[in-house]
Amino acid sequence: MTMRRVKLLCTALMLLASHGALAVSYPLPPEGSRLVGSAFTIAVPDNNTQPLESFAAQYGQGLSNMLEANPGVDVYLPRSGSTLTIPQQLILPDTVREGIVINVAEMRLYYYPPLGNSVEVLPIGIGQAGRETPRNWVTAVERKQEGPTWVPTANTRREYAKEGKTLPAMVPPGPDNPMGLYAIYIGRLYAIHGTNANFGIGLRVSQETSTDPETGETTTEEVPYEYYILNVTLTNKTLPAVILPRLNEQQREIYTVMQQLKGNKPYLWEGIYNGGEDTGPSYEIPGEALDDPAFAALMEEATKYIGWPYVWGGSSPSTSFDCSGFVCWVYTASGVHNLPRTTAQGIYNQCAIISPSEAKPGDIIFFTGTYDSPGPVSHVGIYVGDGMMLHCGSPIQYANINSSYWQTHFYAFGRL
């Protein structure tokens, strides 16, 4: 029998998803990347009668994964018409892509088919947490069993007896067998197996031992873990935003001079912050356009940031910018128009839409389909005349709106 490699990234006996849960198959990402899949949303049907575990099983997710992606959802009966996020985007474990890899922390099992270019991912539950196995344990499949039998331990039978239930010494294969339809035995004491209880998939349990003070009898029972979800907001910051708060006044002066002169060795600074990248086509704004004081104010502010990097969610010089953050900042900081931070679609919604023939320097240009955005407008820039715009691409740069790419994605011109 061929021995298949199995790696446990954390500890505890594994309980594989039931036969009702489907594996999600992902193509392997390119070398150097571990990100696969994408999250998406579904609408809970009208007159819903299904618990959250049913939706989890339908989309190959564990219950804890669904709870983390949908804080506040009713686990027993999600509200009809509400939206559920299906967290099918994940990061592959940082380990050899071979055989079976189990990550207890995220409650997932990864199977890499031999000679394949994909990974199969299944949700898991933990059968007997608290009985530690070696961390980062690499082992092998000893045997596989279709229709496994379950032999309850003496402790388990005693616990059931306290509730007035009688467990047989052996439970044969079938729908009442908590080991499910299949079992993979790894080592002498551990198994990866199915289950007849979907609710256990993606949940953690632990063992608590207590002693009766009168009889001295010791009992052990499995109880759910109490766990908390911590939501963290990450903020993108550029190099100066990180460095400057840590410098005293004299150091800041030295740093500022060094930024301006680049230490008389500009080649050492290429690509570090606002240099070294392709800043797009060079363009000189016509003098007559700058006779408009509003447009001149816009350009005085906007051109400060040419070459700055695109940062998703960025909306100020302390973070750099994304496309809508750049436009909102320039209009507001220049004093031309108070444009609080919003999305490209949000800017579009505030504009009077004009025809291309009416567009003049200082108007706003919108694009669609540049990425999978929630609304039709996905990108925005500032029109500067002569078929050119200044926008936050990668990096902030001028671009010719008559190129085939931008013409394909053109949506509208707008004016605040």
Instruction: Tell me what pLDDT residue 19 has.
Output: 45
Least confident of 28-37, 43-52, 215-224, 350-359: 215-224
Range scoring the smallest mean pLDDT among 121-135, 181-195, 324-338: 121-135
Whole-number pLDDT of residue 195:
74
**What's the mean pLDDT when you consider all of the chain?**
80
Q: Which of 20-29, 210-219, 295-304 has the highest mean pLDDT?
A: 295-304
Higher pLDDT, 226 or 195: 195
* The pLDDT of residue 233: 77
- Mean pLDDT to the nearest integer, 23-39: 88
Across 16-30, 51-65, 400-414, the highest mean pLDDT is recorded for: 400-414
Q: Of the ranges 183-197, 306-320, 338-352, which one carries the lowest mean pLDDT score?
A: 183-197
Q: What is the pLDDT of residue 256?
A: 72
pLDDT of residue 116: 82
Query: Picking from 65-74, 98-107, 152-161, 262-271, which range would have the lowest pLDDT averaged per residue?
Result: 262-271
pLDDT tens digit sequence for 282-324: 788 888 888 999 999 999 999 999 888 888 888 888 888 999 9
- Global confidence as pTM: 0.47
SS3 track for the chain: CCCCEEEECCCCEEEECCCCCCCEEEECCCCCCCEECCCEEEECCCCCCCCHHHHHHHCCCCHHHHHHHCCCCCCCCCCCCCEEEECCCEECCCCCCCEEEEECCCCEEEEECCCCCEEEEEEEEEEECCCCCCCCEEEEEEEEEECCCECCCHHHHHHHHHCCCCCCCCECCCCCCCCCCEEEEECCCEEEECCCCHHHCCCCEEEEEEECCCCCCEEEEEEECCCCCCCCCCCCCCHHHHHHHHCCHHHHHHHHHHHHHHHHCHHHHCCCCCCCCCCCCCCCCCCCHHHCHHHHHHHHHHHHHCCCCECCCCEECCCEECHHHHHHHHHHHCCCCCCCCCCHHHHHHHCEEECHHHCCCCCEEEEECCCCCCCCEEEEEEEEECCEEEEECCCEEEEECCCHHHHHHEEEEEEC
pLDDT at position 355: 95
The mean pLDDT value for 15-19 works out to 45
- For residue 121, the model assigns a pLDDT of 92
| pLDDT in the model for residue 223 | 54
Return the pLDDT at 105: 77
Model confidence at 227, pLDDT cuts 50, 70, 90, reads low
Task: Compare 232 and 240 and report the one with higher pLDDT.
Answer: 232
